[in-house]
Amino acid sequence: MIVIGTDPHKSKHVFVAVEARSGEYLTELEIEVSDTGFRRLEGWIEELKGKRVFAIEDCRQVSGSLERFLLKRSERIARVAPKHMANSRRTLSERGKSDPIDALAVARAALREGIENLPPARLDPQAEEIKLLVDHRDDLVQERTRIQNRLRWHIHDLWPGFEIPLGNLDRSKGLERLARKLNRAPKKARVRVCLQQVRRLRAISREESQLENEIRPLVQTRAPELLELPGCGVLTAAKLIGETSGAKFASEAKFARMAGLAPIPASSGKTERFRLDRGGNRQLNCAIHRIAVTQGRYFEPARIYLAKKQAEGKSRKEAIRCLKRQLVRPVLRCLNCYSEAMEAA
């Protein structure tokens, strides 16, 4: 089998083909990101004999058009996280850094990690649409938080004794009360800035609400089973769908490893222990964490499980981690239901 390491850029892509068994360099290609460049890539691919897999550095902002082109040709794609590149570059005989060196490092990293253990890329327009909407909403939430923090400092400077209750800046009524208070104050520069920030917060809240209303029917169509899972709301389900992009995992252990939910062995000699995995897809990890925390508050079986783990001597955080690992099975089952239905269709 041939592994084709790919270093994607905004204006060009660089490919290096290596032999899967030995990691031996075979050939390379550099193309422009254009129809002409993709036609050159198509001819180059046809010259490569035998099975092949494209290992693409996971930079989806610049590799989206390439992935869509390859998937339409039924090419196999594995996404390689950028963090795997450092060790590969150190082991290369050629020193320095260039696009072909980076592409070769991607291929070697894919071989070292194992092609089967890397998340595949799939052509799932609905999942891609959900991911775009969820990511845009996350950006809006971050912008709202930043504006709220600045607004609180401005208010403190204007009225040191005035306290804004926690969460009031997320609600329209709280923003209305603050706007009335600001309108009664002398129209100095700080007051005018605060009024502009209040207007921006109102606009962001409206945009966020519209996005959630747009995401809900997409999730209900894509994976209604996820919404039936206790503790999994629309936004959490959308995050799970967007981050997996229609991929079907061979086992729950591989899904747990991808999400950073499987403990890592850290034993030595007679000492046997495991440590927390701080790697993996942190967005997936965060989504399952929200489900676990919500179930720990309101879902009786989860509360009993957490109490049992804490009775065994684990802290609340450790018990939550155990619950997250247990949630891998039902979450993966819900995600695979749609993939199986699409394959059957």
pLDDT in tens, 292-334: 999 999 999 999 999 999 999 989 999 999 999 999 999 998 8
Same structural domain for residues 338 and 233? yes
Contact predicate 107/16, CB 8 Å: yes
- Domain edge (last residue) among 196, 222, 248: 222
* pLDDT confidence bin for 97, thresholds 50/70/90: confident
Residues 6+ apart with CB under 8 A from 83: 279
The answer to whether residues 12 and 108 belong to one domain is: yes
Q: Are residues 259 and 281 in the same domain?
A: yes
- Whether residue 250 has pLDDT greater than 90: no
Q: What is the pLDDT of residues 132-155, one digit of tens each?
A: 999 999 999 999 999 999 999 999
pLDDT of residue 219: 92
From 222, 245, 278, the end of a domain falls on: 222
Domain final residue, candidates 70, 94, 117: 117
Q: Are residues 296 and 270 in the same domain?
A: yes
- Among 240, 283, 239, 247, CA closest to 76: 247
How many Å apart are CA 79 and CA 54, to the nearest integer?
A: 8
DSSP 8-state secondary structure symbol assigned to residue 98 = -
Q: How many Cβ atoms from other residues are within 10 Å of residue 45's Cβ?
A: 18
Residue 78 identity (one-letter amino acid): A
Amino acid at 45: I
DSSP per residue over 247-260, as a string? Answer: ---S-HHHHHHHTT
- d(Cα 16, Cα 25) in Å, to the nearest integer? 7
Residue closest to 170 by CA, chosen among 138, 198, 130? 198
Whether 89 has a pLDDT exceeding 60, the answer reads no
Q: What domain range is 313 assigned to? A: 225-344
- Give CA 32 to chain center in angstroms: 28
Given a cut of 80, is residue 279 above it in pLDDT? Answer: no
Residue 27 to residue 44: CA distance in whole angstroms: 10
**Strand ranges across the sheet with 2-8:** 25-32, 12-19, 2-8, 52-57, 77-80
User: Minimal CA–CA distance to 232: which of 180, 162, 290?
Assistant: 290
Interval 215-244 mean pLDDT: 91
Count of CB atoms situated within 10 Å of the CB of 331: 27
Residue 218 clears pLDDT 80, i.e. is over it: yes
pTM: 0.78
The residue count of the chain comes to: 345
pLDDT of 291-300, one tens digit each? 999 999 999 9
**The pair of three-digit structure tokens given for residue 61, joined into one six-digit string:** 């902002």
If one counts the domains in the chain, the total is 3
